[in-house]
Amino acid sequence: MVILAYNDGQYNFQTVERKWQNIWEKENTYRVPNRSEKPNYYVLEMFPYPSGALHMGHIRNYAIGDVVARLKTMSGYNVLHPMGWDAFGLPAENAAIQRGIHPVEWTRENIANMRSQQKRLGLSYDWEREVTTSDPEYYRWTQWMFLLMYNRGLAYKKLAPVNWCPTCQTVLANEQVSEGGCWRCGTPAVEKDLEQWFFRTTDYADRLLKDLDLLDGWPERVRTMQEHWIGKSEGTDVTFPLPGYENGITVFTTRADTLYGVTFMTLAPEHPLVTKLAQASPRKREIMAFVDKCRQESKIERAAADMEKEGMFLDSYCLNPLNGERIPIWVANYVLMDYGTGAVMGVPAHDQRDFEFARKYGLAIRVVITPPGTELQADDMTGAYVEPGILINSGPYNGLTNLEGLKRINAHLKDQGFGVPSVTYRLKDWLVSRQRYWGAPIPIIYCSHCGTVPVPETDLPVLLPEHIDFDPSLMSPLAHVAEFINTTCPKCSRPAQRETDTMDTFICSSWYYFRYSDPKNDRLPFSKEAAAAWLPVDQYIGGVEHAVMHLLYSRFFTKVLYDAGWVQKVEPFTNLLTQGMVIKDGHKMSKSKGNVVDPEEIIAKYGADTARLFILFASPPDKDLEWSDQGVEGSWRFLNRVWRLVKGLDVFGAIDDAHDQLSRADRDLRHKIHRTIKKVSEDVEDRFSLNTAIAAIMELVNEIYRYKDNVPSPDQNKALLKNALENVLLLLAPFAPHITAELWQQTGHTENIHDCAWPKWDETALEVEELTIVVQVNGKVRDRLVVAADSSSEEIEQLALTAPKVQPLLDNKQVDRIISVPGRLVNIVVRP
RNA sequence: GCGGAUGUGGCGGAACUGGCAGACGCGCUAGACUUAGGAUCUAGUGGGUAACGCCCUUGAGGGUUCGAGUCCCUCCGUCCGCACCA
């Protein structure tokens, strides 16, 4: 606080901010009813994981959301702006393991600290709606959601090879693994078979894809990412007969037109036929050793780009369904069991991967599509030919375009019973089981008589046991708590065992935005009326890192709840803003890089208003933001400039104003006021351009200073100045809520500034008396003309042609034509 | 490899529909006030040049146009996402 010792003229943000935060807290200013006479508006920032303290990314997220919330409130909406905690998850459990703190305690302390930080930011949350996902009153309904999925046939259990992180001792979904390692700790993932609960997201794949069209309030790039993630692919399931096996081998292909070019078949190492076929091979031992080797590499490693393609011949053959040709069957590491059918037909001439594989193992390459006019020779090829062309070596289909061939071959396959149209998605079912303590227990009971029995709704929540052994070597902590496991069957009352897996935390965050509409409901997750009053979220704001998983899962939940009749809309978030990262010295802020700026320090030194203002001013919200300590200083100076301006002008008392006519300076200032209102309103509401909105307010402040300094005191229009200052404060209020509230009160206003109406601009004040017209000759600016606003194009052109700086350039030249853009420029096009 | 961004002064960025490039802020320079300045105010600040003139300038090169940071083509750099998807 060195600065304050020097600067007696500066405003005391500590006092001001504390004062207003206390008032807002005491008066419950931001509590919002579900219904009022105003229209509802729901703005939501992605709720945080309570890691311990807020970082700059949080501040940015909340600052943006708070501007929207406050602006919408001033614009006459009943605004829901809630906050809560995504409180289940690994770090709490790791803290328990490493430091012996119980997750309940650790989470409670972190939330208390972060909530107090949020309060010191002056965010307009309705704290009465706060939710915490690790609270039994919340996870009770998360369990209810699981039962909803279960009862609708959308939750099921299967044995599946999963990514296993040896460090976290947990299963990782494919999408939770980055660069071959666990997304949390980086440990290389290995493969392991476990019985797991899944949600049938693939049942909704088509709707998740199609309804992206409804999301025109989302960034294009997020929709594209989801589209690629879902990865719809339309093709054919083609069955290759396999002597001795009734069902043959089925492959999924989008390229049935290349069927005559199949020279080998490849199976994934996990494919059930591999073991069977290997039994018949003299090299059985070798083959099984190869399969084992493949299975030890995790799926992630096998999917790596530079993975060497490897395979082995299985000493078996299947038959091409079109011509009965014998096709050798291989097992290959590049075929994935969980995409398509786990078997791929090898067409080396027209698929690059197959081409590489065939060249490596000396398999035949047969061209069946050739560019028109030439005939492609297999021996000359250096890569697969994947372009369209004309079918050759394809029996009755020779000479057709491959597209026409595709249609006819598909029809033929269908007739003969060898092929059915098929759609395959890249999207997988959602693995929701976690072998962890700190999550919502899956509400399932296993009874030796009744089998798998869901916990009755009336018995929810299934509570986490408090006393727990966090020995990290225990795969699943709950599996060691007898009083948790042992229960009675809800159906037959015999002794039975509970499921010991807990739920993926993405489930908790897939429905929290519904809970905010009715957070205290102890009979339902939320009432239909409350949800209908608020949902969908009008404006959702969060990091682009959630572009796929969280947003896709939330969309899935919303659709299921819609199908079950709980909600009226099929999409949860009407408008989405994905904010950019906060960068320092060119890199993302991270502890490992040592470039972290602690928000706590900034708020302590400059206050919340300055911190918020800088972070919003430094960059457009959807772009990355380069942190600058000096930039913060600039925002601090600006707020002080506003403070001094308002305090220094005595215009708020009884106004005895003799100015019944506006001077030129008055009219210019009035014009600037209304232009600023228009610009700020449009920048914020139409295009989220918060940085330019703040710049416009700064310009207005500069203009008021100029007026004050340049117009002699007796000539100053006090009513106008008062109006100017009031508008500055109103426009600035959503960005810097404390200082504006204080100045508003200090200038004699009794109403809270945040309850005032957002200012409206007056179109007549936007009209100008004079315009500056640029004069160009051959596209180069040569002069500027100040003309009356109502001048005609002809008048302006005449003035331009005779302008002193222009005329010499027209000597000995012929004027070809003159282009006039009204209100902007005149371009005189000349020839020598 | 595929997909998506993105490239503008010393720095963050502005220019919304093809019409004055560099708004606003930071930094810097000079001055004022001052015991002092890390406060405040004034003036200046893209580059070149003796020039209030003139020329150049939005990653590079071409093109369309009266006019291009903005549209089209080719290339280069940076960042992000996904990746054997049959």
Measured CA to C1', the nucleotide nearest A302 is B84
Which pLDDT value is given to residue A340?
83
- Cα A42 to Cα A119, A509, A576, A681: the distances in Å are 20, 17, 12, 19
A293 and A376 within one domain: yes
Write the burial class of residue A381 (CB in 10 Å: 0-12 exposed, 13-18 middle, 19+ buried).
middle
Last residue of a domain, one of A424, A444, A471: A424
Helix or strand holding residue A368 (H, E):
none
Total domains in the fold of chain A: 5
Work out whether strand A177-178 and strand A170-172 pair parallel, antiparallel, or are unpaired.
Answer: unpaired
Helix or strand holding residue A317 (H, E):
strand A311-319
CA-wise closest residue to A156 among A198, A201, A195, A205: A198
A463 and A417 within one domain: no
Measured CA to C1', the nucleotide nearest A334 is B84
Which pLDDT value is given to residue A3?
36
Residue pair A417/A407 in contact by the 8 Å Cβ criterion: no
Measured CA to C1', the nucleotide nearest A351 is B86
ipTM value:
0.92
Residue A568 or residue A386, greater confidence: A568
Asked whether strand B has any atom less than 7 Å from the CB of A248, the reply is no
A732 and A698 within one domain: yes
- Residues of the domain holding A54: 2-132+510-588
**DSSP label of A250:** E
A122 and A76 within one domain: yes
Residue pair A616/A690 in contact by the 8 Å Cβ criterion: yes
**Is the pLDDT confidence value at A467 over 80?**
yes
Residue A493 belongs to a domain: yes
Residue A387 belongs to a domain: yes
Distance A801 CA to B17 C1' (A): 28
Name the least confident of A77-86, A126-135, A789-798: A789-798
Distance A793 CA to B64 C1' (A): 27
Over residues A15-27, the pLDDT tens digits come to 999 999 999 999 9
What number is the average pLDDT over the span A758-780?
87
Q: What's the CATH code of the domain at A647?
A: 1.10.730.10
Over residues A192-220, the pLDDT tens digits come to 778 889 999 989 998 999 898 888 888 88
Over residues A783-794, the pLDDT tens digits come to 888 888 887 888
Q: What's the CATH code of the domain at A797?
A: 3.10.20.590
Asked whether strand B has any atom less than 7 Å from the CB of A340, the reply is yes
A561 and A459 within one domain: no
Q: Which of residues 658-687 of A touch strand B (CB under 7 A)?
A: 679, 682-683, 687
Percentage of chain A beyond pLDDT 70 is 92
Contacts 24+ apart (CB under 8 A), A36-39: A36/A78, A38/A76, A38/A77, A38/A78, A39/A76, A39/A77, A39/A78
Measured CA to C1', the nucleotide nearest A175 is B82
Last residue of a domain, one of A400, A424, A448: A424
Task: Give the residue carrying structure tokens 């004062």.
Answer: A19
Distance A474 CA to B5 C1' (A): 44
Last residue of a domain, one of A377, A396, A424: A424
A398 and A360 within one domain: yes
Asked whether strand B has any atom less than 7 Å from the CB of A386, the reply is no
Looking at A303-434, list the stretches that DSSP marks H as alpha helix, in order from N- to C-terminal side.
352-361, 402-416
